[in-house]
Structures are given as structure tokens and as C-alpha cells.
Structure 1
Amino acid sequence: MNINYDVIIVADVIRLEEKRLLEEAQNAGLRVLLLNLSSKGFRIGEERLAPYALIRSISMYRSLYSASFLEASGYRAINSSLSILLAGDKALSLPLFFKSGIPIPPTYLALSPETAIGYMTSRRKPLIDKPPIGSWGRLVSIIDSDITAKIVVEHREEIPSPQMKAHLIQDYVQINGEDIRCFVVRGDVVACMKRKAPPGEWRTNVAIGAQTEPFTPTDTVTEISVKAVETIKADYGSVDIGVDKITGEHYLFEVNGVPEFKGLEKTTKANIAKAIIDVVKR
């Protein structure tokens, strides 16, 4: 077997995160190869180029399929295909979090438009409706009336994807436009920040303009973050947590298995890229 590299980085769009990972791998003296999925495919069982593969596609399915094929060829994928699948599909991860004792918002799964509308019109509002798959807050809707419920469901029915026709309907958590994002690597919380929704917006995604500030994690935030990443058996991941301003209860919203981190590095000055590369060095 002709292994010429210590790690390959698999990506399709070379963002700042991938450049930072490449930089830190080189700083660590690792032999690293960047593979672009736009021009490179994989054959099951092909000869390995390295022991490790960092999976960094912006597409959940490209990441999942790449990790699966590379694992079949003997690579240690970071994160693994199983972790990427669980993190990427909330209908799979939320039940696991619940079974692990991690607090999540009360969640109802509706697999038909009639069931979704029937549930939402019978419940106290506001509610949150989201598809199982998605990022950057896309297609996450706040349901504040029966009319809104019907409009959202009808719109989602027109999207030609079975995942988009599934509805995860959650009780609204009164976070007042603020939540916490933490980054966990191998059981350690390496960085946390608070995110504040921009004016006129209730979502806290940085991609839509949320403001950020460093946050020192409490014991509760640390426990939820570490346990969530461990539950999906990931080497690393970003964790989103909301604190109900009325009850003080903490709720896990989601875990990302191929997370961006440039905003978190900029806000906290933590070297997240190095922490990820250190997984390869261990």
C-alpha cells in the first residue's frame, strides 16, 4: 500500500475553514492533500492515499457519500458517515438526544400535510416548523396562526423532496432572539459564543446577519454540548443551545457534523482548526 499523505481534506468549495485546516495541518508537519469533489470521485476499495480523511463538503449528502466510500477503502473519516448522517437529519438525531437524556424542545413528527396542519391548528402558538434536513435557518418557520400553518405546509408540499414534506413541529422556546453555539472536539468544549438575531429577525444564524460575542460556557452548557456530540459518535461538531428566558431551562436545538467555524474563531480567537487537526495527530 502506497500511503503518501497523513491526511486528505475532502471538499467542494474551498472556504476559509478548509484553508485554515490546510494551514494548521502544514504547521503540524503533516503531509496533507486537498481533494476537490468538483473534479474527483471515488471508487470503492481504491488504494488509500492517507490514513485519515477530513470530510468538509458544504453538502450534507456529498459529505455523507464521500465518507461512506472512503471508509470502505480503509480511511478513518472525520467525521464518520454515521455521524454525518445523524447530525444531518434531525428526524434521526432528535430521538437519540431524547433517549440520551439531553433536553430538547417537545417535538412532533408529521409525515402528511393533513397531519401537520391538524397538529399545528390544535396547538397553542407560536410553534416552530422545520424540515429534518437543512442548514443556515432555511425553511425554518415560526407558526403564529392557523393561516400561517396552512401556507407553510402548502409551500413545502410543492418542493420535490420527500424530506421537505416531513415536518418537525416544536414548541417555541422563549429565547428572545439569543442562543449559544459551542464547538466540541473529542469531548472538550474549545469555543463558545452567544448569537443575537438581527433586527426584525427571530433566527440566530450568522449567515443571515446575527451578531456574536464570546461566551463562557456554564456547566450545563458544557454537559449538553459534550453529550450531544458523543451521542452521534462524532469526533467534533458544533452545538446550538437555547435558554428559555422564562423558565431558565436549557434546550439542545441541533448538532452540525460538518460545521463552519470561521465566525466562531473570529469571535472567540480560539484555534478551532488546530483542535480538529490535533485529532489526526493523536
Structure 2
Amino acid sequence: MLSSLAILGSAKSWHVAELLKACSSQNICCSVIDWGTIGSFADRQGERFRPASLHNADAILVRTMPAGTLEQVISRMDMLARLSNRGSVVLNNPKSLESAIDKYVTTTRLMDAGIPVPRSAIVQSSTDLRSCADEFGGVAVLKPIFGSNGQGLVLFEGDTKQLPPFFSEAGVAVAQEHIANAGWDARILVVGSEAFAMRRVAADGEWRTNISCGGRAESFTPPQEWLQLAHSAAHALGANIAGVDILPGSDGSPWVLEVNAVPGWQALQTVTQENISAAILDTIRHHFDSKPHVGRH
């Protein structure tokens, strides 16, 4: 029986506050752990993780994935993998997190699974970008390899003087075909076997539908095909909890644009009566109950 949960995230977060309330109502002891405080120690007696609440937790929920140095990111993922290997339930699992963090890897995993995604390319120069835009019909969506909430996304239409700073700083980006659309998309939050959906409508004068970019959340019942597509996209990345963004093209055909393995649901919760935090706990409990726990402590 699931009795303790460690949440890797910020204690000031709305999402964490909602999860804490859900844990309290289900008698689950919950601790909130900042990424900057975690560590591990290995000797002949075995491996120990700190803080103790992380080491002893029945399950671990990755609520945020903060920026850091390459060494920090790799070390954190390594520790999550070790925790998972010793029997702790880690959602999402480290492999799915690694896949979803990288936008190009996400796209190619989806493509391999037969899921409709826009044409995409890795570009390392303005020449590469211009060539891709020409192949895509004159317009490309330029994205940072790592990023979320629409941050850094720009529509490139051939003017290399208007490239975003992140491109020159990182030296690499993803160029993606721009899909003509009506200014809205759907965010489908996959939580285990369940799914919760909202329509996101772009603000006036804005092409991005992200809530953080001024998009508006609306209640939405997606077609069954879209729900199946969202579950298939999450499965392709091995994610049990995933935010899948589906854009209807001008002909109505659905395209999967993103899969977020550390998704938020604050805006989505405003347009559904379902308790999403409770559903997340149910999914965590299901994985805990179905996983062998040998030698975890």
C-alpha cells in the first residue's frame, strides 16, 4: 500500500499545493524536495540517497525539471535512474523524461510510432534554417532543443536578422514545419488510462496557444481519435503522465506538436470538474501496487 510520496518540485507551486491536499485526503505522507538538495552516497554497504525522505519514499513524482549545468542535469537523471532500479516508483520514469525533454528526440520517437508530426530538422546555422524553411514552404517554427511553455518559439520567414538569441547562444535548434491552423489547439493530459482535455485559443495577434503566452483555456471534448492519438503519443515516449498538444490543420487533420512529460494542469483544472491531482495519485498508487519492491530500503 502506498504510504509515502516524494515530490521533486517547489513547495510554492500551485501544483504541489494541490497534490499535498490530495495526499492528505488519502492518508499519504508527502514530502516536497528541491532538486538542489538531492544527493547520493555509495559504499560497500550500498547506496543511500538524501534527503532521507527521498531515500525512503515509496514513490517519487517529478513535478519540475529545472535548468542547470550539463553535469547537474546528467547527475540528477542518473540518481532518478538508480532510484528506479532499486525499486522506487518514479513517474515519469527517467528514460521518458530524457526523451520528452529533447524536442527533436520527441518528434522522431513519435514519427517512429506512426504518429502524425510536422516535418522537423536539426539546424546549426542560419543557412541550414533558411534551407529548411524553403523546403517547408517558406515558413518554419524555430524551437530550442530544450524548452517549455512556448518560450523561445519564433516563426521564421527567411529574415536571418530576426533570429532569437537562444539560437546563437545554443548553436543548435529544431526547425519544424508550420501547420496552417485556425488559432487553437488541444492539450490532452494523459494520466494512466485516463485523459483530460482543454482547448487552447491563441490571444489576439499571437500565434502561440500556450497559456503562458496569453492563450485562453476552454472546455473541450476531443474526438475519440484524438484521445487515442494522445495515449499513443504518451506510450511512444514511455510516459504515464503526459501533456500532449494536438493541432488540427486547415483540413481538420490532427498533428501532434509536443509531448510534455512534466506537464502542468492549472489551466486545465479550471475547465474540468474532475480532480486531476487525485487522478495522478491513483496512477502512482497503481504503479506502486503492481511493481515488486525487493530490497528497496
2:57 paired with 1:54: no
**Residues matched between the structures, number:** 269
Aligned mate of 1:178, from 184, 200, 224: 184
Match of 1:142 in 2: 155
Match of 2:275 in 1: 271
Q: 1:97 to 1:120 in 2, by over 3 A?
A: same
Match of 1:188 in 2: 194
- Offset of residue 120 of structure 1: 2.4
CA-to-partner distance for each residue in 1:9-52, whole Å, 9 max, x for gaps?
111353110111111112111122222234x2211521521121
**Pairwise mapping of residues 1-282 of structure 1 onto structure 2 (< 5 A)?**
6-12=4-10, 14-38=12-36, 40-44=37-41, 45-46=47-48, 48-59=55-66, 65-73=75-83, 74=86, 75-121=88-134, 123-144=136-157, 146-147=158-159, 150-153=160-163, 155-159=165-169, 161=170, 165-189=171-195, 191-245=196-250, 247-282=251-286
- Offset of residue 57 of structure 1: 2.0
CA-to-partner distance for each residue in 1:179-224, whole Å, 9 max, x for gaps?
00011011321x1000101111110010121111111121111011
> Does the CA contact (< 8 Å) of 2:154 and 2:164 recur in 1?
no
- Offset of residue 127 of structure 1: 2.3
**How large is the Cα RMSD of the aligned pairs?**
2.2
Query: Which SS does the other structure have where 2:197 is aligned?
Result: strand
Q: Distance in 2 between matches of 1:112 and 1:37?
A: 34
- Offset of residue 5 of structure 1: 5.4
TM-score by length of 2: 0.83
TM-score by length of 1: 0.87
> Does the CA contact (< 8 Å) of 2:11 and 2:32 recur in 1?
no
Q: Distance in 1 between matches of 2:121 and 2:62?
A: 31
> Does the CA contact (< 8 Å) of 1:242 and 1:251 recur in 2?
yes
Deviates more, 1:248-257 or 1:72-81: 72-81
- AA aligned to 1:51 is D
Q: 1:82 to 1:123 in 2, by over 3 A?
A: closer
- AA aligned to 2:19 is L
Q: Distance in 2 between matches of 1:196 and 1:94?
A: 23
State the identity as a percent: 22
- AA aligned to 1:76 is V
- AA aligned to 1:214 is S
Gaps of 5+ in 1: none
- AA aligned to 1:277 is L
Q: 1:67 to 1:279 in 2, by over 3 A?
A: farther
- AA aligned to 1:260 is G
